[in-house]
Amino acid sequence: MKLLYLIANQEINPSAAAFVGKVSKKMGASLTILGASTDSTMLDKIKTQLEALEPLPGASPERTYFVNDDPVAAMEAELTRLKYTLMLVNVPRRRRVIPSNYRFLSQRIIKHANVPVMLVRNVSKNFERMLVCTGGMEISKPVVDLSTKLAGTTGLMATLLTVSVAVPSMYTGMEDMDESLEELLETDTPMAQHLRHSAEELTASGIQAEIKISHGDVVEAILEEGKEGHYDLIVLGQTEGTTLRGLLLGNVTQQIINRAPCAVLISKPHAEPPFD
């Protein structure tokens, strides 16, 4: 397995770099570091900071190189040159409501990458638990498949979370959320079928997994669970297209990226299968 760590147009966050090393070590993967910027002064800063960090905590990069060019173009060239399992990108801390230039750059990176992208902003000291966000639609299968393969490689514990925008009438008056989940899983609805199949897929791979269901605003529910559950990683799907549903789901993904209390992994619906 090969991981690509992209440092694009920004200085290095040491805690994020340490997290990247931890992920690489736990996956048993080789690591390539690519520093890319159109600003030669920034590129020199990246070089100096990497030298100060070497060896990267938890991993020894197989290759480190720098490109004075558009980071997206440099990324695409490297992803074409070698087959990577996934790419990790350091995302700066959000300091303002107005979208920053890096916010637009990160959106381009996600759009043009042909492998899953792990965005590293707020990182934990561990890499043991992940929250898998599944909506029971077509984007959810790649999310579950990616999560299963990642957990199988690293031994991560997984929680499957689905969020219902409105509380179904059949749950009205129920006080115990566990009971409502049990009731849901006993039905033959598409959502119940998807959750059962996803849990079975994880369990069949020897992965410790649980299912949770929440009601209300999708973004807030995911962020709340991510914070209260002390997860090290949130796994989401990327939705493309111009349909209303696609735009809404894309907005959900971007909000989670902006506000998540931990690293976020974005699966790519049309990417080549990772871990193969």
CATH 3.40.50.620 fits 2-120, yes or no: yes
pLDDT digits (tens, 9 = 90+) for 130-176: 999 886 555 577 888 888 889 888 989 999 888 865 544 444 433 44
pTM for this structure? 0.84
pLDDT digits (tens, 9 = 90+) for 218-231: 899 999 999 999 99
Comma-separated ranges of CATH 3.40.50.620 domains in the chain:
2-120, 129-267
- Report the 10 Å Cβ neighbour count for 79: 19
Q: Are the C-beta atoms of residues 120 and 16 closer than 8 Å to each other?
A: yes
Percent of the chain as helix, strand, coil, to the nearest 5: 45, 20, 35
The three-class DSSP label of residue 275 is: coil
> Any residues with CB less than 8 A from the CB of 117 and at least 6 apart, and which?
86, 87, 88, 89, 109, 110, 265, 266, 268
Average pLDDT of span 27-55: 91
- Report the 10 Å Cβ neighbour count for 68: 14
Average pLDDT of span 94-99: 51
Superfamily of structural domain 129-267: HUPs (3.40.50.620)
What is the pLDDT, as a whole number, of residue 174?
A: 37
pLDDT digits (tens, 9 = 90+) for 5-33: 999 998 888 888 889 999 999 999 999 99
Q: Could you tell me the two tokens for 223? A: 């962020």
Higher pLDDT pick, 99 / 119: 119
Length of the chain in terms of residues written: 276
